[in-house]
Structure 1
Amino acid sequence: MEEPKQDVISALRQKEEELESYRNRSALRQKEEELKSFKDRMAADLTSSIETGDTENMSNTVSQTRLKKMYDKLKLQHWPKVKDCLKANNGSSQTARAVIQKWFQEAAKQMEKRKEQINEVFGLTQDNKEPTHQKVREYRQLTVQNLQLALYHSGREHNQISLPQYDGQYPQDVVDIFRSLVSECYQLGCLMALNHPPLIPDWQNHVPGMDSWDIFPQEITPVELI
């Protein structure tokens, strides 16, 4: 009687091992399918982001998140020091605001021209009615992104900022300090304009409040693409 009993126990154990092995293989197949599905989704998202420029790569030095941090640093750290210097020399908050806003707008205008030139190179003009290959649009967007990176690494010292409202009206060191800030505004404005979608300080909804020197809007907002 003992031997048949052992055979039954052995058979049960074998069945349990086979069942466990089957479960493991099924679980493995399920994990492999989930991994493949995830990779497919990521590949599709990456392709879409290359086409549109919407990808938010945190290692990218000019990602939208980084641009917002640059703007906050400009507004909260750099501007207060320059503001105090201007106020100490009887500067005008209205004039300072007009100059800063002008150079942000000038940056957007210049970058729009650059993008139009890039579009012409890739044949993406309004006059071209032929369908455009997907790869052409991808390479066009990569070109804009490379231009954005090139401007970031070139530094603001290459920007020729003219301040006729200040030259000769204030001590040279005050003019130089303000010119440095405006140059930084211009460079950041260029980087924001090359983002997808382009970004601008929210001048329209900015209310200075009690402090007329509260020049910079709280937020930067995307420009509606037409």
Structure 2
Amino acid sequence: METFYKKKLSEARSAAAKKEKELKSVKDRLAEQVAISLKTGNTESMNNPVSKTRLTEMYDNLKLLQWPKTKDQLKSRNVGPKEAKDLIQKTFGAASEEMKRKKQQIEEMFQQMESSSGRTPQKVKEFRQLTVQNLQMALFHSSKEDLLKAGFPGHGGPNSEEVEADLRSLTSECFWLGCLMALNNPPLQPDWKNHVPGFDSWDVFPRDIKPSVE
């Protein structure tokens, strides 16, 4: 009888040890995935509101849902498609440049930390990327109007106040989305270079977004 119970106890311990080993293996794999995500900036996830997939969806909504409404308003104000496209492209460009400056500031700060601390360069790189990701999330939850306040481009000519009012919502959306796209890894931008409007001169938004070269 004693031998029987010793055997059962040994089997139970062996099973528990096996379960613990399997759990440790799962934890190690998860930790490795998180580390790779931080190193590469690959944050594509169903729960990530600023993943490349979500940014693409937001761009498509801007292009297909919001732009047609604004386009009709601009037509009624006698604003041409070229003027609208120039403003939209300029707004995305301004957002990209602003985020480049922010990332450069982060880079300089972490370079100073690296030179004055005992942390390994790899750790510094991981936390630098995490800081950029946190900035992206902070902007995602920010007011679009507040982001654009400092740099809203004026519009001269007749009915300028009405035109600016028509454009403000669209321009705010473009600047906000442009910031989020610029903070992606790699940075993204509308594919202006390969955009061909075709027969409709008001088709001012490129079909796709693509990685940009900084």
Into which bin does the TM-score normalised by the smaller protein fall? 0.7 to 0.9
CA–CA separation in structure 2 for the residues paired with 1:83 and 1:72: 16
Secondary structure class of the residue paired with 1:51: helix
For residues 60 and 124 of structure 1, the distance between their equivalents in structure 2, rounded to whole angstroms, comes to 30
In 1, Cα distance between equivalents of 2:112 and 2:66: 39
Determine the structure 2 residue equivalent to 1:220.
Answer: 209
For 2:197, which of 208, 216, 219 is the aligned residue?
A: 208
Aligned pairs (5 A) from 1:131-142: 133-142=121-130
Superposed displacement of residue 39, structure 1:
4.7
Larger-Rg structure: 1
User: Which amino acid in 1 is paired with 2:141?
Assistant: H
Hey, what does 2:46 align to over in structure 1?
Answer: 58
Report the Cα distance in structure 2 between the residues aligned to 1:132 and 1:207, rounded to whole angstroms.
48
Find 2:174's aligned residue among 141, 161, 185. 185
Match of 1:8 in 2: none
Between 94-103 and 60-69, report the one with greater CA deviation. 60-69
Give the C-alpha shift of residue 179 in structure 1.
1.9
Aligned to 2:165: 176
Say which of 152, 158, 163 aligns to 1:162. Answer: 152
Q: Which residue of 2 aligns with 1:104?
A: 92
The 5 A counterparts of 1:1-226 are 39-123=27-111, 133-158=121-146, 159-160=148-149, 161-164=151-154, 166-170=155-159, 172-224=161-213
CA displacement at 1:69 relative to structure 2: 1.0
State how far apart, in whole Å, the 1-side matches of 2:56 and 2:82 are: 24
Q: Which moved more, 1:187-196 or 1:31-40?
A: 31-40
- Whether contact under 8 Å (1:103, 1:185) holds in the other structure is yes
Structure 1 residue runs of 5 or longer lacking an equivalent are 1-21
Q: Give the RMSD, CA atoms, in angstroms.
A: 2.7
Secondary structure of the corresponding residue to residue 154 of structure 1: coil
Gaps of 5+ in 2: 1-10
Displacement of 1:135 in angstroms is: 1.5
Render the CA deviation track for 1:87-134: whole Å, top value 9, x for unaligned: 122211011101100110111111001000000110079x9xxx9522
Partners of 1:170 and 1:75 in 2: how far apart?
25
| Separation in structure 1 between the aligned mates of residue 193 and residue 73 of structure 2, nearest angstrom | 27
Conserved? CA contact 2:110–2:124, under 8 Å: yes
Alpha carbons 1:54, 1:196 under 8 Å: kept = yes
Kindly tell me: are residues 137 and 202 of structure 1, through their superposed partners in 2, closer, same or farther at Cα, counting changes over 3 Å?
same
Q: 1:46 touches 1:55 (CA, 8 Å); kept in 2?
A: no
Deviation at 1:32, TM superposition (A): 8.2
Amino acid at match of 2:179: C
Give the TM-score of the pair, scaled to structure 1: 0.77
Q: Once the two structures are aligned, what percentage of the paired residues are identical?
A: 53
